[in-house]
Amino acid sequence: MEHRISVLFYARTSKKTSKGLIPLYIRITINGQRLEHSIQRLVETGQWSRAAGRVKGSNEQARQINLYLDTLIGKVRRIEREMEIDGQPLTFANFREKWLGLTEAPRMLIAIFQQHNDQMAALIKVGKDFCPATLDRYNTSRDHTQAFLKWKYGVSDIDIRRLNFEFVSEMEFWLKTERNCAHNTTMKYISNLKKIVNGCIRKGWLTKDPFTGFRMTKVDVEREALSDQELRKIDSKVFAADRLNYVKDIFLFSCYTGLAYADVKKLKRSEVSPGIDGGSWIFTNRQKTETQSRIPLLPPALAILEKYRDSDVCSASGHVLPVLSNQKMNAYLKEIADVCGISKNLTFHIARHTFATTVTLSNGVPIESVSKMLGHRNLKTTQHYARVLDRKVSEDMRQVRGKY
């Protein structure tokens, strides 16, 4: 945005003191609007040069006053330069605030990030809006942002007005190189930062979006799922350690229902009831999106529920299964994979993919029904989970092949 700024010093003869001295004033004109005030300096009438805007002579008083006038001009130019660097429009109101020291204390990025996370933690504590895993991701994003600030600028926090496109693009580079994050992981952390920045924009703390022009595209990743043979191999295995049998049952329950870890963990016995066909169904809201999932229970899933019906832990809590922490579940799943000779990186989320592909789509369940059971808001999300399988393509083309 273009701006015009000029500085003029003048003597106001109408305010001459009883000793015959006249006060000096500064007039700063910004885009046609004037800011005028006394500079608290007095001179004799004959000392002031209106044409030069300076005190005449070379005595000590003249040198000191003229040096002060130069200092004020330097202050004007410094404020002008700082506002340009910060991307703040040089308007009369903005300049006046800075000149008179009326500006608010700087708002710091990490402090705002922490306030956001504290509010999220408070909501989780009362069981609203978010889950603990989401808070963990935002805490990690905050820590990464602070580590980047130390790496790039040598500071632990930064004024949000210093954020710009360079800041965002440099952070992407840092996450991929110094932190060795994959592209999609990098985008998740930057997306969390963007949420904080968007909040600052909505509150009027930022006038320019530093993410303008920054592309936040994600790369499609082929999601792993267990084959029917691998699923049966785990299902038929009995482990010597009870902890592995618990984890196996919970993992298989997710394979046959499509529930994510958080949803299995919170699933109550009251959320299992007869459905439209008279069979047992799950009626629950997904913790991540608050969308409803309605899932008819397959015989293997029903058998697992029956197995834990008399569990003291489940009876006391009202939950259907004794779910361990996600960290322990994934650690034990790696043991299960080793024992069963499965080379895939077995994590709990693979169970959801397995339900979408091996259990449902591969057996002819329409993707619209799969999407409904997974609790997705749109079909596009389901398509990321459930790639069309070669086997399904073969079956679909069989009818065409007969014609030719």
Asked if residue 381 lies in contact with residue 371, where contact means CB atoms within 8 angstroms, the answer is yes
Residue 390 has pLDDT above 60, yes or no: no
**What would the mean pLDDT of 192-212 be, rounded to a whole number?**
90
Residue 246 within any structural domain of the chain = yes
Same domain, 270 and 386: yes
The verdict on 72 and 38 lying in the same domain is yes
Do 174 and 232 reside in the same domain of the chain? no
Same-domain pairing of 145 and 255: no
Q: Residue 9 and residue 11: Cα distance in Å, rounded?
A: 7
Confidence of residue 373 (pLDDT cuts 50, 70, 90): confident
The answer to whether position 293 is within a domain reads yes
122, 259: one domain: no
Q: What pLDDT score was predicted for residue 391?
A: 58
Which of 186, 202, 218 represents a domain boundary (last residue)?
202
Asked if residues 373 and 242 have their Cβ atoms less than 8 Å apart, the reply is no
* pTM of structure: 0.59
Burial level of 261, CB count in 10 A (0-12/13-18/19+)?
buried
Q: How many residues does the chain have?
A: 404
Which of 100, 117, 136 lies at the terminal end of a domain, its last residue? 100
Per-residue pLDDT reduced to its tens digit, 134-173: 889 999 999 999 999 999 999 999 999 889 999 999 999 9
What backbone phi and psi angles, to 5 degrees, belong to 30?
Answer: -120, 115
Query: What pLDDT was estimated at residue 149?
Result: 95
Q: Which of 390, 298, 385 is nearest to 350 (CA)?
A: 385
Let me know if residue 373 belongs to a domain. yes
59 contacts: CB under 8 Å, gap ≥ 6: none
Q: Are residues 156 and 253 in the same domain?
A: no
397 in a domain, yes or no?
Answer: yes
Is there a domain that residue 218 lies in?
A: no
Query: pLDDT tens across 233-273, in order?
Result: 999 988 888 889 989 999 999 999 989 888 888 888 888 88
Number of other CB atoms surrounding residue 369 within 10 Å: 13
Q: Please count the structural domains in the chain.
A: 3
Judged against a pLDDT cut of 90, whether residue 381 lies above it is answered with: no
Domain check: are 234 and 183 in the same one? no
Q: Would you state the structure tokens that stand for residue 31, as one six-digit string?
A: 């885009």
Contact between residue 186 and residue 175 where contact means Cβ atoms under 8 Å apart: yes
- The 8-class DSSP code of residue 14 comes to G
pLDDT at residue 65 tops 90? yes
Mean pLDDT of 212-233: 84
The answer to whether residue 285 sits within a structural domain is yes
8 A C-beta contact, residue 22 and residue 13: yes
Domain limits at 76?
Answer: 5-100
Residue 307 domain flag: yes
Instruction: Name the one residue in this structure whose structure tokens are 């439209």.
Output: 276
Question: In the listed set 100, 119, 152, which residue is the last one of a domain according to the structure?
Answer: 100
CB 135 within 8 A of CB 121: yes
What's the pLDDT tens digit per position in 67-105?
Answer: 999 999 999 999 998 888 877 788 888 888 888 876 667
* Amino acid at site 97: E
Residues 250 and 387 in one domain: yes
